[in-house]
Amino acid sequence: MDLINIYIVGPAGSGKSTLVQSLGGWMESKGYRVSRVNLDPGAELICYPVDFDIREYVTVTELMRREQLGPNGALIRAAEMVEARLEEISKAIGSRGGDFRILDTPGQMEIFLFRSFGPSLVSRISGRSACIFTIDPSLASTWLDVPVIKLLALVIELRLGIPALEAMTKSDMHRSVPSWLALEGVPSAQVGGLSGELASSLASVVGELEKKRRIIPVSSKTGKGIEDLYKAIGELFCSCGDLT
Ligand SMILES: Nc1nc2c(ncn2[C@@H]2O[C@H](COP(=O)(O)OP(=O)(O)O)[C@@H](O)[C@H]2O)c(=O)[nH]1
Ligand SMILES: [Mg+2]
């Protein structure tokens, strides 16, 4: 089986690092070899065993101290420093093998997506690649949020050039997935006001662009949904859904 890179991308606090830990642990329990990569120069504590750590090259804390920068300025500076050493860094990451390489991306997803950091790195690292977009339940509180989530997933695919799966994290914190999350369109009866009209128009445009993907609820705390996520990764690469 060719190595598969899985990039975990999502807003700060959406459960990326915890998912690296739970998904990696689950894969290992099934006998797969997994390497874990931290690409977040701003990470403080890391909850999983790291095989490659970007903080060996640059850390936000050190930049704040040395260059008298605030946290956002230091993060941008860190991204610039990574971009300048991309060749060396991607080679070092590429030397960490296994069946799966799970890559934890910076807390602030815009640093990874909208600068050259993410797209350039993804294009340099060997193996087949996919991305998991981690959606915090608080980002999905009404049906108006569906087109926003779907649009963000498309932006991720557009910027990184790899397929994205949508995972709603922390599913143990809500009793069931709201029915509108499986929505293929926004119910016209609910459309009202500027946001409603916009969401409805966006939903029809996004619906045409997006492959019919469901949002997969997962909990890193209980392990529920981790196997579904794994199967969805399999389906991206092989129509039978079996990675082997
Ligand atoms: N209840 C619950 N909390 C979670 C889960 N996943 C992550 N968290 C918590 O959410 C917070 C942010 O998680 P983290 O993985 O650091 O997010 P990141 O910034 O996206 O890497 C932490 O306090 C985690 O313990 C989950 O599945 N269930
Ligand atoms: Mg993190």
136 touches ligand 1 (CB under 6 Å): no
Q: Is residue 12 part of a domain?
A: yes
- Determine the average pLDDT of the residues in 39-51: 95
Pocket test for ligand 1, best of 17, 18, 39 (most atoms within 8 A of CB): 18
Q: Where residue 221 sits, what CATH number does that domain have? A: 3.40.50.300
Ligand 1 in contact with 169 (CB < 6 A)?
A: yes
In this prediction, residue 207 has a pLDDT band, given cuts at 50, 70 and 90, of confident
Asked whether 217 lines ligand 1 (CB < 6 A), one says no
Q: The whole model's pTM is what?
A: 0.92
Buried-exposed string 51-81: b where 16+ CB fall within 10 A, e elsewhere: bbbbbeebbbeebbeeeebeeeebbbbbbeb
Sheet holding 34-38, edge to edge: 52-53, 34-38, 100-104, 4-9, 128-135, 164-168, 216-217
pLDDT of res. 183: 53
Atom of ligand 1 nearest to the CA of 8: 20
Residue nearest to atom 6 of ligand 1 (CA): 15
CA 106 – CA 203 distance, rounded (Å): 28
Whether 174 is in a domain gets the answer yes
Within a domain: 87: yes
Number of domains in the chain: 1
Tell whether 115 is covered by a domain.
Answer: yes
Ligand closest to the CA atom of residue 39: 2
- Per-residue pLDDT band for 25 (boundaries 50, 70, 90) equals very high
Give domain status of residue 187, yes or no: no
Q: Is the CB of 47 under 6 A from ligand 1?
A: no
Q: Is residue 190 part of a domain?
A: no
Residue 193 lies in a domain: no
CB atoms within 10 A of CB 108: 18
- Distance in Å, CA 233 to ligand 2 centroid: 21
Q: Which ligand is nearest to the CA of 41?
A: 2
Containing structural domain, residue 91: 4-182+215-237
Residue 206 domain-assigned? no
**224 ligand 1 Cβ < 6 A:** no
Is residue 97's pLDDT more than 90? no
Residue 186 pLDDT exceeds 70? no
**What value does the mean pLDDT take over residues 25-32?**
97
* Whole-number pLDDT of residue 175: 62
Distance CA 203, CA 198 (A): 8
Q: 12 CA distance to ligand 1 centroid (A)?
A: 10
What is the spatial distance between Cα 176 and Cα 173, in angstroms, rounded to a whole number? 9
pLDDT at residue 241, rounded to an integer: 45
